[in-house]
Each structure stands twice: as C-alpha cells, then as structure tokens.
C-alpha cells in the first residue's frame, strides 16, 4: 500500500534535531504497524499536490498551525483536492487540521471553540464502534485517549457523516464520512514530550489553568498505536 502524506506544516525551527518533522512522525508511526508500507510526500503547504488522485492508494494529512478558515491559496487548493478525493471515493484520513479540512471541504464548518485550547491528552468515548476498530482481544472498543493540540473544532458536520468518538470538550472528535474519509481531531503521531514542548511555546496564548490541566494529563497512557492500527484497518476496508 502506498500512502500519500499531504504535508500541511513543519515543526518549529528550534525543534529541528530534537523532534522529527510531521510527515516523518506519521511515517514512523504507520511503519510500526506495517513495515511494508510505502509513502509519497506532498508539500501541500507549499502548493504541491498529486496530479491525479490515483498517484497513491490512500492519503493521510499532517496537522498545521494554520486554520482551515485562513484565506490562503494553498488551503483553497487543498480543500478542492479533498473534494476531488470525495468525488472519487478515494480514502483519506485527516489529522487535526486535516480532520477540519474534510469537514469544511464537504460542507461542514469549523470555528474557534468557546471551550478554549485542547492540549495534553484528550479522553474520548467511542460512540459508534466500527468494524475497523479492532485490537488483539477483538473486543469492542470503549475509549480513545490521544494527544491533542487545537483551538478550533468542527461545529457542523457534512452530510453522510457519523461521529465515531466524542468527548464533552470536543463532541465531534472523530468523524467518518461514508466509508472513505476519516477525520481525527487528535494527534496519534505526537509524543507526550513533543506535546509538552509545543505547549511551552504557547504559554502566552493559553490560560495557566488550562496549561496545568494539559500537563497533568500527559502522565496518562495514550492509545497512539491502537489508533494507528485503526487507521490502517480503515485504509484496508476492514
């Protein structure tokens, strides 16, 4: 399987050498699940997109510091590409920014959350278990605990969309559009160390009590590899 990674941002310059860049984080996460996977990288935030939806078998996005509501040419082009993928029923998994990109491209909406920043680990409930949500025990999943970093949320869903994981903080945490698109507000590719480092660059933007809550949550065990397995199962149509 060849996965096309649509790169929507890069790590901060001061993190170079300390943390991998976003597409590498995603690549390494997926290779832990299946070492035979192949990848093609597209710098979407620099205007590079596939010439055909069939260049790759499936697609996966990184997150971004940008908003899908920013009026930037590359974001508009990417929205159009997501719409094209939808027309062709080509599989796409959107991470954070990509999750919101799917919602907006297909007729939903995204706005700044009145609840403020989501940071640290988000604790979610699986609301509609899917066939691709399997683990070693083959038991129906109940929760999904994943690192997050966002101040915007999907507030209106596109047509033909179901919420498959949710929390009181982020009701539309994970959404599925028919059987070919999956949006995830969290970052399974982020380590807790990276979450702490990234939050420390935003202390002037995030209230101190929210920072404390976020840092405290980072001691929890996260479901990063479980979610990576789900993503691969989704791609395979399991």
Domain of 180, CATH number, reads: 3.40.50.880
Q: Evaluate whether 96 touches 173 at the Cβ level (below 8 Å).
A: no
In the chain, the number of structural domains is 1
Residue 139 has pLDDT above 90, yes or no: no
pLDDT at 137 over 80: no
Phi and psi, residue 7, nearest 5° = -85, 120
Name the residues annotated as catalytic: 96, 187, 189
- Mean pLDDT estimate for the chain: 95
The pLDDT value recorded for residue 142 is 81
Query: Whole domain around residue 118: which residue ranges?
Result: 2-236
Residue 3 pairs in a beta bridge with 39, 58
Give the residue-averaged pLDDT of 175-183: 98
97 with 64: CB under 8 angstroms? yes
Query: pLDDT at position 134, please?
Result: 78
């Amino acid at each position: 399987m060849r996965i096309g990674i649509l790169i929507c941002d890069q790590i901060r310059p001061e993190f170079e050498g300390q943390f991998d860049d976003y597409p590498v984080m995603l690549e390494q996460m997926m290779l832990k699940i299946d070492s035979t996977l192949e990848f093609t990288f597209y710098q979407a935030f620099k205007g590079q997109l596939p010439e055909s939806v069939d260049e790759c078998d499936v697609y996966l996005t990184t997150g971004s510091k940008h908003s899908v509501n920013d009026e930037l040419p590359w974001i508009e082009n990417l929205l159009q590409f997501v719409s094209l993928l939808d027309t062709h029923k080509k599989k796409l998994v959107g991470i954070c920014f990509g999750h919101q990109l799917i919602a907006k491209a297909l007729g939903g909406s995204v706005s700044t959350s009145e609840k403020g920043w989501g940071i640290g680990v988000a604790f979610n409930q699986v609301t509609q278990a899917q066939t691709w949500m399997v683990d070693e025990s083959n038991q129906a999943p109940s929760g999904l605990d994943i690192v997050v970093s966002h101040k915007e949320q999907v507030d209106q869903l596109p047509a033909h969309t179901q919420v498959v994981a949710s929390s009181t903080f982020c009701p539309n945490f994970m959404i599925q559009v028919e059987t070919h698109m999956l949006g995830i507000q969290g970052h399974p590719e982020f380590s807790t160390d990276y979450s702490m480092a990234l939050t420390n660059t935003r202390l002037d933007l995030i209230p101190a009590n929210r920072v404390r809550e976020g840092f405290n949550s980072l001691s929890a065990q996260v479901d990063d590899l479980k979610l990576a397995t789900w993503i691969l199962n989704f791609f395979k149509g399991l």
